Amino acid sequence: MKKTVAFISHADCGRHDTGWGHPEHVGRLRAIPRALRNDVALYESLDHLEGRHADADEIALAHDAAYIAGVRALAARGGGSLDADTVESAGSWDAATAGAGCVLDGVDLALAGETVRSFSAVRPPGHHALRGSAMGFCLFGNVAIAAHYARAVKQLDRVLILDWDVHHGNGTQALVEHDPNIRFVSMHQWPWYPGTGAADDRGPKHSVWNVPLPPALPRERYVGEFLGAVDRATSGFTPDLVIISAGFDSLAGDPLGGFTMELDDVTRLTREMVSRAEQWCGGRVVSALEGGYAPDRLGEAAVTHMRALL
Contact footprint for Zn ion (CB under 5 A): 165, 167, 247, 249, 291
Sheet containing strand 208-213, edge to edge, reads 47-50, 5-9, 117-120, 285-289, 241-246, 159-163, 182-189, 208-213
* C-alpha gyration radius of the chain: 17
Q: CA 20 to CA 22: how far, in whole Å?
A: 5
Helix (H, G, I), strand (E, B) or coil at 275: helix
Q: Closer CB to Zn ion, residue 7 or residue 248?
A: 248
Residue 42 has a CB neighbour count (10 Å cut-off) of 18
> Can you spell out the DSSP letters for 133-184?
B-BTTBSS-HHHHHHHIIIIIT--S-EEEEE-SSS--HHHHHHHTT-TTEEE
| C-beta of 126 vs 283, nearer to Zn ion | 126
Say which of 128, 148, 188, 305 is annotated catalytic.
Answer: 128
The C-alpha atoms of residue 165 and residue 168 are separated, in whole angstroms, by: 7
CB of 310 to Zn ion, least distance (A): 25
- Cβ closer to Zn ion: 208 or 281? 208
60 or 217: whose CB is closer to Zn ion?
A: 217
CB 59 within 8 A of CB 97: yes
What is the distance between the alpha carbons of residues 119 and 103, in angstroms, rounded to a whole number?
Answer: 8
Q: Whole-number minimum distance, CB 165 to Zn ion, in Å?
A: 4
Cβ distance to Zn ion smaller for residue 108 or 165: 165
Query: What is the nearest approach in angstroms of Zn ion to the Cβ of residue 264?
Result: 20
How does DSSP classify residue 130? B
Give me the sign of the Cα torsion angle 96, 97, 99, 103. Answer: positive
Residue 16 Cβ, how far from Zn ion at the closest point, in Å? 16
Which residue's Cβ lies closest to Zn ion? 291
CB of 189 to Zn ion, least distance (A): 9
Cβ atoms of residues 213 and 188 within 8 Å: yes
Active-site residue 128, yes or no? yes
**Whole-number minimum distance, CB 125 to Zn ion, in Å?**
7
**15 or 168, CB closer to Zn ion?**
168
Query: Which residues are the active-site residues?
Result: 128
